[in-house]
Amino acid sequence: MAKAKRYFFCRECGYQSSSWLGRCPECGKWNTFDEEVVQASTQVFKQSSNQAISQSAPVRIEEVKYDETVRIQTHCSEFDRVLGGGIVPGSLLLLGGEPGIGKSTLLLQTALSMQGKRLLYVSGEESEQQIKMRADRIGKPQGEMYVVSETATQRIFEHIEAVKPELLIIDSIQTISSEEIDSSAGSISQIRECTTLFQRYAKLSGVPVLLIGHITKDGTLAGPKVMEHIVDAVLQFEGDQNYGFRILRALKNRFGSTAELGIFEMQSDGLREVPNPSEILLSQRDETLSGSAVSATLEGARPIFIEVQSLVSSAVYGTPQRNANGFDFRRLSMLLAVLEKRCGFKLGAKDVFLNIAGGLRVSDPAIDLAVACSILSSNVDIPIPPTICMAAEMGLNGEIRPVTRVEQRIAEAGRLGFEKIFVSRYNTKGLDKHKYPIEIVELAVIEDAFRKLFA
Ligand code: TYD
Ligand code: MG
């Protein structure tokens, strides 16, 4: 047994140092170093790495063969879509998300729906009975599924040896520990060691491994950067706890695009795939009230029509309140400043509350125009007709700027039965307007929108 060593690790980025440091030289954060007792790498570790080295030999790139059809389909089309068409054999995937968002449910459900595969679900958080209870809520296993409650890597690898799974799920990496390292489960050195062990297992055996990871308060993966470098894909499961909608995104994907996203709804019997989110999001609209506008946004490559709601009221206290749910707060302040300057509103004396319906978070800049119009609508207390939707970015001078893939947004708006879509004048060059069953309204500046809606 090697001698125990002590190291200091940065909580934020995993930087390793032999002495305590006030400021991390890697990420620049202050006061982030924790001491961990680490054992020097062991014999097992060295053997396996030597083995990997001895098998490798350089090959001309033209001679490298792989089979495109070899991806493992999970029978959950939203999950497959985010991964770029299924799980690549030998890949190591990390699924992150806040506690209670549904990570365990998602992977258990995906595992249950996989046909004719032998799977091993290792949980460090729940007992076998608890996993079974959850599985009973969700559905029947379609393949051969094994569950085990275990936290020690050595024993997990014994179970793997016995079961010989075709897919391995670890729930969660923060609860797993290796005996070779003295520090407790969830510490940086444990996470790094265990992730590396599973990566090596995945690469040598060709069995894909799905790891669940926790997210810290500030929204990053706990023990994060160290893991993000090792794994092949980082998926994030997000959504508002109070709403049913959940979004699965790829933050990193070595085998596919990070633009795709999967949408689910949490129900009492597990997660339901939502192939057509706009229809659900819009059906809950109350169509006669002011302060509501529909935006034709794109999430990844999918059009999603989202309702933006605003409430503008006189500020009761000296400093006006601002609140944004699902929208960047600084962007809201910027849009308010533009509206104040260009549309002559005294928004400085008003409280402004903004909410994206359905608990979604939107980062597509095309939502700007709907945000601005919903604020204006609430301010003058005139509703925007429910047959209008919009897609444009707003510049600092109040100019209405073009957005990407406008044809796709217009076509989807027509399909959903909208009568008018507001877009930037610069977006319509070369566009055959008669092709679409919808009136395309062109705007140059935000005043145009104001005039068309409320004058
Ligand atoms: P869970 O998968 O345990 O979350 P995580 O692993 O990310 O911590 O999901 C927990 C929540 O999901 C819990 O609040 C209950 C809810 N849930 C349902 O609404 N329906 C279901 O069928 C299941 C299994 C869970
Ligand atoms: Mg869980």
- Give the distance from CA 20 to its chain's centroid: 34
Element (DSSP H or E) covering residue 320: none
Q: If we measure between CA atoms, which residue out of 109, 122, 120, 113 comes closest to residue 73?
A: 113
Q: Are residues 74 and 213 in the same domain?
A: yes
Q: Which residues surround ligand 2, an ion (CB under 5 A)?
A: 104
**What pLDDT sits at residue 68?**
66
List, chain by chain if needed, residues with CB within 6 Å of any ligand 1 atom.
Answer: 97, 99-105, 134, 137-138, 266, 268-270
Q: Are residues 29 and 169 in the same domain?
A: no
Instruction: Express each pLDDT in 330-369 by its tens digit.
Output: 999 999 999 998 887 777 789 999 999 877 888 899 999 9
CATH label of the domain that carries residue 443: 3.30.230.10
Q: Which of 273, 289, 312 is the last residue of a domain?
A: 273
| Per-residue pLDDT band at 160 (split at 50, 70, 90) | very high
- Total domains in the chain come to 3
Q: Are residues 207 and 300 in the same domain?
A: no
**What pLDDT sits at residue 286?**
62
426: in domain = yes
Which of 232-241, 252-261, 381-390, 425-434 has maximum average pLDDT? 381-390
210: in domain = yes
The token pair at 388 is 């209008």
Q: Are residues 288 and 150 in the same domain?
A: no
Cα 192 to averaged position of ligand 2 atoms, centre (Å): 20
State the DSSP string of 269-294: TEEEE-S-HHHHHHHT--TT-SSEEE
54: in domain = no
179: in domain = yes
Q: Are residues 378 and 420 in the same domain?
A: yes
Q: Are residues 306 and 339 in the same domain?
A: yes
387: in domain = yes
Q: Are residues 134 and 202 in the same domain?
A: yes
Cα 176 to averaged position of ligand 1 atoms, centre (Å): 21
Instruction: Express each pLDDT in 84-137 by its tens digit.
Output: 889 999 999 999 988 889 999 999 999 998 888 899 999 999 999 999 999 999
Instruction: Express each pLDDT in 386-427 by its tens digit.
Output: 899 999 999 999 999 999 999 999 998 998 889 999 999 999
Q: If we measure between CA atoms, which residue out of 193, 191, 194, 187 comes closest to residue 168?
A: 194
Instruction: Express each pLDDT in 125-158 by its tens digit.
Output: 999 999 999 999 998 888 899 999 999 999 999 9
Q: pTM score, two decimals?
A: 0.77
Cα 108 to averaged position of ligand 2 atoms, centre (Å): 10
Ligand 1: residue of 98, 101, 105 to mutate (most ligand atoms within 8 A of CB) is 105
Q: Which of 227, 258, 273 is the last residue of a domain?
A: 273
Give the domain range for residue 103.
69-273
Q: Are residues 299 and 254 in the same domain?
A: no
365: in domain = yes
Using the 8-state DSSP alphabet, how is residue 350 labeled? E
Q: Are residues 359 and 419 in the same domain?
A: yes
Q: What is the β-pairing status of strands 400-401 and 393-394?
A: antiparallel
CATH label of the domain that carries residue 156: 3.40.50.300
- Nearest atom in ligand 1 to 105's CA: 2
The token pair at 34 is 């924790």
Ligand 1: residue of 266, 272, 273 to mutate (most ligand atoms within 8 A of CB) is 266
6: in domain = yes
**Minimal-distance CA residue to ligand 1 atom 10:** 100
53: in domain = no
Q: Are residues 196 and 313 in the same domain?
A: no
Q: Are residues 265 and 209 in the same domain?
A: yes
The token pair at 27 is 């990420």
Q: Are residues 398 and 269 in the same domain?
A: no
**What pLDDT sits at residue 249?**
87
Tokens 């005139």 sit on residue: 382
CA distance 291 to 301: 28
Torsion over CA: 215, 219, 222, 228 (sign): positive
**C-alpha angle 424/430/436, rounded to 5°?**
75
Instruction: Express each pLDDT in 205-218 by its tens digit.
Output: 999 999 999 876 66
